[in-house]
Each structure stands twice: as structure tokens, then as C-alpha cells.
Structure 1
Amino acid sequence: MSANIKIVNCRADNNPGDPSNLQNHSGNGILVGNCRNVLIDYCTASNNGWDMPRIGNGPVGIWAYEADSVVIQHCIAYRNKTAKGAADGGGFDLDGGVTNSIIQYCLSYENWGSGYGIFQYDGADKWYNNTVRYCVSINDGLVTDHACGMLIWNGSNVGSDFTRFQAYNNVFYNDKKYAFAFL
């Protein structure tokens, strides 16, 4: 497992995805996995994922999976996309197996998927003790089903695999869809 990673003052823009990859998602902005003690700070991810043809899980602007102690802060994710009929395409995501992590002071807008995804998929390590605070979502969820400002989804079929989440002092504005949802 990689540790003590810093991604600071960077841009991840216009990563289209691999149109020949039908096995998994492609076209992410910034993605970290199987790591601990990560800082993603003052980064921007925009217009990613627009040529990913796979229907299923999709790309996200800035996200983590199977990771511990990740801090994503002072970042902007906007106009990220996914395949029509696919999932994801959002701004930020704390995905399966993430623990002890925070998204804070971030801005998400006009993403095809949810501004902030809080997801646990079947087969992932336990997901717990994560927080989203002091963040803003504006008109996210433009295209994908169930997408909104913040979407919380437990696909693990085991409730105890997805626990201890806090969201506070956030602003979710959406004049097209709902601002917050559970699946």
C-alpha cells in the first residue's frame, strides 16, 4: 500500500477515457486507491470522462477507493461526464473501502453525475468514519439517473460495511434535480 502522497496545485482536464475499454471505467481526473495518508489540495478536475463508452461504473473528477486517511480540500470539480446511461460522472467521490477521510472546502458544479458521491460497492473493504464538510454543489446531476448534489449509496448488501458518515455545513443548490439522495 502506498503512503504519504501529496497531490497539490494540479489540473486534470479533458481526459476523455478510452473508447475501446468496455471492462472498466476510464477518463478519471484524479484517482487514488490502495493508499493511506493522502493529501489532494488546490486541484481542479474538469471535462473528464466524455469518451468512456462503458455502461456501468464511470469516471469521476477527484476520488478515492480502498484508501485510508485521505484529505481532499480546496479543490474544484466541474463539467465531468460519463457515458449516456452509465453511472458516476461526478465531481468528488469517497468510494468503496475508504476510511477516516475528509472532503472539505471544495466546489462542484455542472457535473453529469453527483457533485459528491458517497459510495460502497459489494466486495470492498469496510467504509467508515468519513466526512464531507464546508463544500458547495451547484446544479450537479445533469445527466445520470439518481444523480444530485450528494448521493449516498450502499451496494454492499451489508449495512455494517458502510458506517459513520458525517455531512455538515455544506450547500447543495440545484434548480434541475434534487439536491440530496439515498439509494
Structure 2
Amino acid sequence: MDDVKQNKARIRQNTIAMLESMSEEERRVKTRVITDKLVQFANVIEAQVALLFFDRKYDIDMAPVILYCLDNAKTVLLPVFDPPKHKARLFRINEPRRDLTKGLSGMIEPNPSRCKEIPFDHVDIAILPGLAFDEKGGRLGYGEGRYDRLMGRLPLTTRKLAVAFESKIISHVPMESHDRYVDIILTEQRTIYKI
């Protein structure tokens, strides 16, 4: 068990070092390719209710995807995490500038006093972040377990799609019993379906 945790920590360090070395221009170009692919992806086009994320430093910029979904009359959900309770709730956003705030976790998230809470069983597609992925759908997050717990509450019918730079794809993500897999990974170079 300790070996798995140490291996995960090493992968996180290596991935963050690699991402830190990426120029802003390279990041911008790759992000644009990924977001263009994402908004043309059949599962995204067909979905009525999309669970998205607000990017962190090492994720792609999700603002264009959020705006695309809102412009195309999709219900856009973002999570609100309560770290002490290890819980997540989903809220619908309509106007990002007014509906988003800095949450308890320090992340940008919906303001619960302005946004309507939506049950997990309404989600058609979940677009998910992560630091590293493998071709079997293994996902390595930031080490807090937030998205693993969130994914565990989604219906089996919800398509779980990750977006990542190709350089985040590694040969093997060490998985523990609580870790969750994604179904599809979109990078700037390819689309990977879980084997």
C-alpha cells in the first residue's frame, strides 16, 4: 500500500515538473485543440446535463467549454466540495460571472446561495480533470480523493470523459480500491477509449 502511495506521489511530482516546463503558448495551443475536439465530440453534443470542472493550475482552461455548453442550452453543473465532510454537491450555473465564487476548498465553484442544487442522477456526461491517465482509463488526481468520491456517486450510465494534455498519458496509473476509472480521454493528439 505504501509503495502505491509513493508511486502516485512520484508520478504527481514528475507530471507537475513536466507541466511547469510547458510554455504558456504551448499550453494555450494544446488547450485550444482539446476544447475544439471536446465541443465536437458526439457524447458532448448529445448530452443535456454536463458536469464540468473549473480548472486548476495544471488542467486545461474549461471556460470555453462552459460557455459552449451554456450557449447550446445544456444544463451546466459544477461541483461544490466540502473537504472536512468529504462530500460534493452539484449546482447548476447560468451566468458564470455572477454564479461563481471562491469556495471553502479554495477552488472556484458555484455559489450555493445563487445556484440550484441538482441530484447526481441527472448527469449525462461528466468531464473530469486529473494529473495523469493511462490507456485503461486509470486516473490519478491531485491526491485529495474528491473526484473519486464524486465519480462513485454518478449513475453507471453517465459517460466519464477526461480531458488532458497528451504528456499526461503514462504507461500505468497505480490504482487502489477507492480509485475510479474514466471511460474516454481526449488529448490534443488522440481519443482514448477505455480498454
TM-score normalised to structure 1 length: 0.28
Q: What's the TM-score once normalised by structure 2's chain length?
A: 0.27
Q: Decide which structure has greater helix share.
A: 2
Structure possessing the higher relative contact order (Cα contacts under 8 Å, 6 or more residues apart) = 2
Which has the larger share of strand?
1
